[in-house]
Amino acid sequence: MAAVGLKRNRILAFIFATFVVALALYFFLYFEQDLRNYLASRMGPRARAEDSLINIPKLILFSLLAFLGVRALSTIIFDFVFRLRRGYEAPTLVRNIFSLVVFSILFLLIFNRIYTEVNLGALFTTSAIFGVIIGLALQDTLGNFFSGISLHADRPFQVGDVIVVGQQKHTGVVESITWRAIKIRTFQNHVVLVSNSNAAKEAIEVCPRDNLNARIVFFGTLYTDSPAKTIHVVREAVRDADNVSPKITPIVRIRNLGESSIDWEIKYWLEDYAKYNDTDALVRQRIWYALRRSGLTFAYPTRTIQLERKVAPKPVTAEEQIADRLSAVDIFSPLSPEELQKLAAATVGHVFAPGETLIRAGDEGSSMFVVHNGRVQVQVTENGRPRPVAVLSEGDFFGEMALFTGEPRTANVLAIEETEVLEIGHVAMKHLFETNPDLAESISWTIAERRASLAAGSQQLAQASIEESAGLLSSIKRFFGLR
Ligand code: CMP
């Protein structure tokens, strides 16, 4: 909106200026003869002196009009015709050259018409020394100017591309290419100006905006970890990260068999290369979480250190913490402490990064999860858009629907923040059902309620689905082979 207002003001100012200059010129020409007569009568014998006095403002007014005409012509050609034809903005340098050349020609024509007695050709040819002086003084400027022209002719990069220039490896997004220099905005938000003549001499690495540019990120794992598993785990963790292009699957490969690690590299392609710093960081974060979940380990230089241990009070074991957590889950409240302990021993803990998907709708699933720390969001996709259904936090469980019915997952579940979940598999649940027949019933109630709220949350459907729970119960029993 502000830009449109600014443009309108500029157009109004332009029309006003043209009007004023044209009016001034009109009056000037109208009274020119009177002015000449008046000056001639006042100056008397100093003949022709009045000519100079009259000609100077005349030259100025005509030149101003020519200048405004060139501006208008340049706007029409570059802002309308060029942009419509080519689909992008004309480079500033080209516009400036155009304006300068056209204006110079017009100025010389006007000058020639007004000062008929001055021989411009002779003036130019006899001023060779003057030319040499100007040439030497403008050596650098002209060098930049012609390098700028050749950059525009070659079009090796455009505004918006990321480039790396020179020995100092200035890296950033090209903001403009002017008469003098290429302006780059670096990733620290600094502006670097590389003169055109320097840029023409240096190698320039270009990462075009409309191109799928790749990045490589390094990491290392222990020799005991399976390479095949590492490749699979890391590739899957990285491929759906933000700004990683879905068009090409990332490549995970061994770069080196190092002293104390298998050295890996992952090559991935970016949608927007200008954000590569953030994306590299996200990729590293995803790798950390994925390795952690899959029991793979980052390598580190290995030393053998002997430590003297102090006798410390017995810490609370992770298993006890898990049993505590499970005892707070409402469906497990009927379980005895021994059963909870057994269930805790059978669970597997996983940690997920914020934004990561824990469950995808439509996938097969043979386990359920209890939120140990953090929060997850349950969402379904409607008309291609996610609709949040519920937020589950510590002590809540999910994934039970596929586990108990054998049907595909009904919804997506995503981590809202860093979330640790406890995974309970089919076998562990089967043991519990055998000793706690009521468990199947309370689970079938939860499933029926959740199904109802998935079915758009209508009260009627909810009621219908709750009534379904009796049917559900028998299908759960059948699925788990219970009587
Ligand atoms: P499942 O179908 O295995 O996978 C997706 C999970 O999202 C599902 O099990 C439920 O645990 C959970 N879920 C679905 N709908 C709801 C809901 N309305 N409220 C809470 N959790 C739900």
- CB 282, CB 275: distance < 8 Å: no
Q: Can you give the pLDDT at residue 433?
A: 83
Chain segment 41-63, per-residue pLDDT in tens: 777 666 566 677 788 888 899 99
Q: Can you give the pLDDT at residue 26?
A: 92
Question: DSSP readout, 211-278?
Answer: S-EEEEEEEEE-TTS-HHHHHHHHHHHHHTSTTB-TTS--EEEEEEE-SSSEEEEEEEEES-GGGHHH
Q: Whose CA is nearest to atom 18 of ligand 1?
A: 450
CA–CA separation, 390 vs 371, rounded Å?
14
Q: Which of 99, 91, 105, 82 lies closest to 148, judged by CA?
A: 91
Q: 210 by DSSP, 3-state: which?
A: coil
Q: Which of 413, 422, 424 to mutate to test the pocket of ligand 1 (most atoms within 8 A of CB)?
A: 413
Q: Which of 423, 381, 431 lies closest to 402, judged by CA?
A: 423
Tell me the one-letter amino acid at 476: I
Q: Is the CB of 402 under 6 A from ligand 1?
A: yes
CA–CA separation, 168 vs 161, rounded Å?
19
Tell me the one-letter amino acid at 469: S
Looking from the CA of residue 452, the nearest atom of ligand 1 is: 18
- CB 172, CB 185: distance < 8 Å: yes
Q: Is the CB of 446 under 6 A from ligand 1?
A: no
Q: Is the CB of 371 under 6 A from ligand 1?
A: no
Q: Is the CB of 174 under 6 A from ligand 1?
A: no
Q: How remote is the CA of residue 356 from the centroid of ligand 1, in Å?
A: 16
Q: Which of 371, 378, 400 to mutate to test the pocket of ligand 1 (most atoms within 8 A of CB)?
A: 378
Q: Can you give the pLDDT at residue 101?
A: 87
Q: Is the CB of 398 under 6 A from ligand 1?
A: yes
Looking from the CA of residue 410, the nearest atom of ligand 1 is: 2
Tens place of pLDDT per residue across the chain (483 aa):
555 677 788 888 989 999 999 999 999 889 888 888 887 777 766 656 667 778 888 889 999 999 999 989 988 888 888 777 777 667 677 777 788 888 988 998 998 888 877 777 776 666 666 677 766 766 677 777 777 777 766 778 888 899 998 888 899 999 988 777 889 999 999 999 988 888 878 888 999 988 899 999 999 999 999 999 999 999 999 999 999 999 999 999 999 999 889 999 999 999 999 999 999 999 999 999 999 999 999 988 766 677 777 766 655 557 888 999 999 998 888 888 888 999 999 999 999 998 999 999 999 999 999 999 999 999 999 888 999 999 999 999 999 999 988 899 999 999 999 999 999 999 898 888 888 878 888 888 888 888 888 876 544 444 555 556 667 777 777 777 776
Q: Can you give the pLDDT at residue 458?
A: 43
Q: Which of 330, 450, 472 to mutate to test the pocket of ligand 1 (most atoms within 8 A of CB)?
A: 450
